[in-house]
Amino acid sequence: MTQIAHIFTEAQIVMPSDSSRTQDLDPIESGAQFMAAQSGAAERILAKHTRRDDGRCAQCSTRTLVTWPCTLANIANRAHMISAGRSAHQKRQSRHP
Ligand SMILES: [Zn+2]
């Protein structure tokens, strides 16, 4: 989780102090769970971590050349899907009470 923690610090995402319940998840999945819980976090990251014309990540490649999607974009995309899944579920429930 060290790399993820570093990435989250950069993205200004607060890691929960008690992460024991997510120990069995892989770093991407557990990171996405944290990110999905924070409103706008995934959108904020995806806005910066975009694919450049040369196939690198626009944000990560300011330091080293990273092929897009980078780890952070992967996590944000997953978080986005988690959030979208939740709202889709809520819509289904309201449509069919
Ligand atoms: Zn990136």
Euclidean distance between CA atoms 55 and 93, whole angstroms: 40
Total of domains in the chain: 1
The answer to whether the CB of 57 falls within 8 A of the CB of 67 is yes
- Residue 6 Cα to ligand 1 midpoint, Å, equals 13
Q: What is the dihedral of CA 29, 63, 5, 24, to 10 degrees?
A: 30
- Residue 95 Cα to ligand 1 midpoint, Å, equals 38
* 18 assigned to some structural domain: no
* 20 assigned to some structural domain: no
The range of the structural domain enclosing residue 59 comes to: 27-95
- Residue 9 Cα to ligand 1 midpoint, Å, equals 14
* 45 assigned to some structural domain: yes
* 91 assigned to some structural domain: yes
- Quick check: pTM over 0.85? no
How would you write the pLDDT of the chain (97 residues) with one tens digit per residue?
456 666 677 666 666 665 555 556 687 888 898 889 988 999 999 999 999 999 999 988 776 777 899 988 999 999 999 988 877 766 555 555 5
- Residue 97 Cα to ligand 1 midpoint, Å, equals 41
* 10 assigned to some structural domain: no
* 42 assigned to some structural domain: yes
